[in-house]
A and B are shown apart, each in its own frame.
Chain A
Amino acid sequence: METSAPLAITPELLLFGGIATAAAMAAVGVVAFNNAVRSALCLVINFFLLAFIYFTLQAETLGIIQIVVYTGAIMVLFLFVIMLLNLGGSGLLQQKGDKRMPVAIALGVVLFGLIASQLLPGLMSVTKPLAPDNFGAPQNVGRALFTQYVIPFEAVSVLLLVGIVGSILLAKRRI
């Protein structure tokens, strides 16, 4: 590592700052909104913006998989379940203010401060990405996935199969 150069304001930094601020606000929204649908919507926004942050890291395949898997499938499932539960009577998923709230927020701030103060200052000077620009291209990801990581990949497929069977078992009334 070279010695720390002063951080220059580049267009990339501004772009990242914009996306990151919006994503962070959405993350706060997930926790802060009382209404479960709004929380879910905030999470959708967060995941969608996160995909663009992945794009800025040149990991375009993973960014697009992020959109397909998270915003396209998982969050739709969440919304589906929330709406199904809402059918049983609204007000079920609302919640009132709580005494634990200030304590938890203080805990969060302390956690953030503690880790950030230990971790971030040393890494401020690392501004040059060393991985090649095409390290996130679908060809390279696919090659790695089907050569060196093929056994974990197959294990994950078994896991998904078990997940499918398990969720069907849970959801079915009679088998």
Chain B
Amino acid sequence: MPEWFANLPPVVQALIRVLIFVLPVLLLVPGAIWYERRLLSWAQDRIGPNRVGNITFSRRGKYIPSFLKGKKFHLFGLIQPIADGIKLFMKEDITPTAVDRPIYFIAPALALFPAFTLGATIPWGPFTWLTPVADVNIGILWIIAVSSLGVYGVVLSGYASNNKYSLLGGLRASAQLISYELGMGMALACIVMATGSLRPTDIVAAQQEPLWGVVPALANWNIFTPYGFIAAIIFFICMVAETNRAPFDLPEAENELVAGYHTEYSSMKFAVFFMGEYAAMMVYGGILATVFFGGYHLLPVRWDWIIQQYPASNFIAGFFRDVDYWLSPLTFIFKGVLVLTAYIWLRATMPRLRYDQLMALGWKTLLPLATTNLIVVALWIVAARVYGPPVGILSAVVAFAILYGLWRGLDKAFSPPKAFLAPRSITLVNVPKPTPAPAPESEVAPSA
């Protein structure tokens, strides 16, 4: 910690940390919107916004310097989100007469609140005096707690709008968010158990240990361990559901609920909902990176060990280590953008789930899977302590296979027969049925 920073009063230090975290998130929101629109249109074989911000200088203008005359500058539509923002803020702010006014105004703020407080315990670099905002020993619990507050914005806006579709959207959101919180908490609990700490900085540090305890050159990112891989998938699915994104966007299903909970919101208040959603996506991306993908480290390689073991490689390995150190915020953002890409890819690929499918996925698949995973982690810890790390990993794989087989077997034994879920045949309307030829009398079996 530099001296000038240490001399500041603690309140100012905290404010600086908060600003350094929140401002980039705010600034990246328009970028994320542009990125989503471009990627989606690419996935759908369209062009997407590519015009706003293109500058063409006149050939004969009097005040244009000669080297600019007739030049064209392309910004690939990067200014589009800003134009969108200006449009949204300039629109008329309509407040329907029958709304519950105080709650109607509070709800967008409540929707924005968790998106920005969620990352308070997430380190985005190795600079311990700047990040995280609060390095507390309940960091992971804080994430679970704040993500559970995300319901209120949606539910209260749905209620306050005094609109049946909005209310339905709010109800759907509350049920969905409660259901997926469980899987999410369980997935995080696996990593907490494996790490032995609730502090996100400890989790990042633990991911710099030798891979599986045996490969000293590589880092033990949680995604490379069997239980961590499962937990990461569960966490990712739950995260998509928590942010109400496709394919889990039932609360705002456009074609069923007319955009659900924010139907009655216009202008700035709608923009706030929009901003909250995108900020939450990015912050969740950062959490995923921190917990499963080694945090702010670029590559899962332990440069320190390599330098120590092979001093000859000091030049290259040292260079990589320094890059890893100094570019860590960029690495962190890069990982967040990767997660954002996965979000958009999902949205472009998957159709929206039906409500019962959503509940079945959350309660019947993710929660048992995450609980199984928890047992596996416990076994792994015991086996690794007693017999050494390789046996631990092996036993984790075996235990997972056994438990998964057991679960599928039990599921098959107790689930209703498949015919129950068979798709019904579709009959087209107004298609004349081919009249069956009258059966000859002789073939009818005589009734006994």
Contact = CB atoms under 8 A, between A and B. Distances in A.
Whether chain A touches chain B in the assembled complex (some CB pair under 8 Å): yes
Interface of A: 35, 37-38, 41, 44, 48, 60-61, 64-65, 67-68, 71-73, 76-77, 79-80, 83-84, 86-87, 137-139
B174 interface: yes
A41 B141 contact: no
Judged by DSSP, the binding face of B is helix
Contacts of B158: 83
Given A76-B155, A76-B174, A83-B155, A71 B141 contact: no
A71 B148 contact: yes
B171 A84 contact: yes
B107 to A, nearest CB: 10
Contacts of A73: 148, 178, 181
A68 B148 contact: yes
A37 B162 CA distance: 13
Contact of B145 (A38, A72, A138): A72
Judged by DSSP, the binding face of A is helix
A80 B145 CA distance: 19
B148 A83 contact: no
Contacts, number: 76
Contacts of A68: 141, 144-145, 148
B138 A87 contact: no
Contacts of B145: 64, 67-68, 71-72
A65 B148 CA distance: 12
Given A37-B159, A138-B198, A72 B137 contact: no
Interface string B172-192: 001101100100000000000
Contacts of B152: 44, 76, 79
Interface string B119-163: 000000000000000001110011011101101100110110000
B257 interface: no
Given A64-B142, A79-B155, A72 B149 contact: yes
A67 B167 CA distance: 25
Nearest to A65: B141
Contacts of B155: 76, 79-80, 83
A73 B185 CA distance: 13
B22 interface: no
23 contacts: A37-B103, A37-B156, A37-B159, A44-B152, A64-B138, A64-B141, A64-B142, A64-B145, A67-B148, A71-B145, A72-B151, A73-B148, A76-B151, A76-B155, A76-B174, A77-B178, A79-B159, A80-B155, A83-B158, A83-B159, A83-B167, A83-B171, A138-B137
Contact of B138 (A35, A48, A61, A86): A61
B335 to A, nearest CB: 26
- Taking each of B100, B103, B151, which has the highest tally of chain A beta carbons within 10 Å of its own beta carbon? B151
Given A41-B156, A72-B148, A80 B171 contact: yes
Contacts of B167: 83, 86-87
Closest 6 CB pairs of A and B: A72-B148, A67-B145, A64-B141, A68-B145, A80-B174, A64-B138
A35 B103 CA distance: 11
Given A48-B149, A86-B159, 20 more contacts: A37-B156, A41-B103, A41-B156, A44-B152, A60-B138, A67-B146, A67-B149, A68-B145, A72-B144, A72-B181, A76-B155, A76-B178, A80-B155, A80-B171, A80-B175, A83-B170, A84-B171, A86-B167, A138-B137, A139-B137
Interface string B88-106: 0000000000001011001
A138 B174 contact: no
Contacts of A138: 137-138, 141, 198
A172 to B, nearest CB: 15
Contacts of B100: 35, 37
Contacts of A44: 152
Nearest to A71: B149
A77 B175 CA distance: 9
A113 to B, nearest CB: 32
A83 B198 CA distance: 35
Given A71-B149, A83-B155, A38 B174 contact: no
Contacts of B137: 60, 137-139
Interface string B343-355: 0000000000000
Nearest to A44: B152
Contact of A61 (B102, B141, B177): B141
Interface in B269-293: none
Contacts of A38: 102-103
A44 B159 CA distance: 16
Contacts of A86: 159, 167
A160 to B, nearest CB: 13
Contacts of B138: 60-61, 64, 138
A80 B159 CA distance: 10
A68 B156 CA distance: 18
Nearest to A63: B138
Nearest to A87: B167
A18 to B, nearest CB: 15
Interface in B189-224: 198
A68 B151 CA distance: 12
Interface string B292-336: 000000000000000000000000000000000000000000000
B161 to A, nearest CB: 12
Contacts of B148: 67-68, 71-73, 76
